[in-house]
Amino acid sequence: MGIQDMELLAIGVVVILFMAVLKQFGILEPISSFEDSSDSDLEMSTVRHQPEGLDQLQAQTKFTRKELQSLYRGFKNECPSGLVDEETFKSIYSQFFPQGDASTYAHFLFNAFDLDRNGSIRFEDFVIGLSVLLRGSVTEKLNWAFNLYDINKDGCITKEEMLAIMKSIYDMMGRYTYPCVRDEAPSEHVDKFFQKMDRNRDGVVTIEEFIETCQKDENIMNSMQLFENVI
């Protein structure tokens, strides 16, 4: 007896459904995921970093011994391996800004601290950065800020870079603000910034323009001294 067409079709449909169910249960993908996980587990555990000695750090930064000790204790508590990778950094920083999304700004900050661009902040980077921010001269602080804004580290800040930074700062505010953050607010702010900073109207802000303008602005000068007593 022959099998009619409809039956054939029915059988075909059933077989397809069967395969679909198997795939749903993951029976058809046994091997691919297995190998990756075991390797990556090994990698995570072997990376560790010990900082330089206390004396060298004391020489490199303007912190006292006790301050360095206390800083390291806090650092090591949160990052036992001695290295902060970007994800951890973002998660730590985000905890201070629960209403908004601090991850983009944290990304920029991370790049500003990660001096040797290897994807992780060591304690030395951390402490050197902090030393500049808290114990450095105003010029050093302004240099640091410029370095932060200059995303590609080419020595000048373009409008796009500034817009990215501005957006990330506004992102940290979150949605619930008064008055509401309009979509054009970052770009307006960037325009104002460039108006103030860009002396020769060439569309970019160089380090000299930046420092010169900031030194003339009283508000900025005052605010630079604000966080001296943080540690």
Contact residues for 156 (Cβ-Cβ < 8 A; gap 6+): 150, 204, 205, 206, 207
The partner residues of 121 in beta bridges, in order of sequence, read 84
Using CB under 8 A, which of 48, 73, 117, 153 touches another protein? 73
Structure tokens at 145: 């800020």
Site for another protein in 142-161 (CB under 8 A): 142, 144-145, 148-149
The residue range among 32-40, 46-54, 174-182, 223-231 that interacts with another protein, by the rule CB under 8 A, is 223-231
Q: How many CB atoms lie within 10 A of CB 209?
A: 19
**22 is a site residue for another protein (CB under 8 A):** no
Gap between the Cα atoms of 183 and 175, Å rounded:
11
Residue span binding another protein (CB under 8 A) among the ranges 22-30, 41-49, 140-148, 174-182: 140-148
Under rule CB under 8 A, residue 229 binds another protein: yes
Considering only the stretches 22-30, 38-46, 57-65, 90-98, report the one whose residues sit in contact with another protein under the rule CB under 8 A.
90-98
Give the list of residues 6+ apart from residue 127 with CB closer than 8 angstroms, or none: 57, 60, 61, 63, 68, 71, 72
Q: Kindly state the tokens that stand for 211.
A: 């420092």
Chosen residue from 24, 38, 50, 222 binding another protein by CB under 8 A: 222
Determine, following the binding rule CB under 8 A, whether residue 87 of this chain makes contact with another protein.
no
Helix/strand/coil percentages in the chain, nearest 5? 65, 5, 30
Please say whether the dihedral angle defined by the alpha carbons of residues 130, 134, 137 and 139, taken in this order, is positive or negative: positive
User: Toward another protein, which CB reaches closer, 58 or 215?
Assistant: 215
- Give me the residue label for tokens 């994800």: 87
If the CB atoms of residues 103 and 149 are measured against another protein, the closer one turns out to be: 149
Under 8 Å between Cβ of 19 and 13: no
Candidates 81, 86, 101, 134: give the one binding another protein (CB under 8 A): 134
Query: Token match 């002396």: residue?
Result: 199
By beta-carbon proximity to another protein, the closer residue of 66 and 153 is 66
- Only segment of 32-40, 52-60, 175-183, 213-221 that touches another protein (CB under 8 A): 213-221
Q: What residue ranges in 5-54 does DSSP mark as E strands?
A: none
**Which residues of this chain interact with another protein, rule CB under 8 A?**
1-4, 6-7, 10-11, 14, 17, 66, 70-71, 73-75, 77-78, 92-93, 95-96, 108-109, 112, 126, 130, 133-134, 141-142, 144-145, 148-149, 165-166, 169, 189, 192-193, 210, 214, 219-220, 222-224, 226-227, 229-231
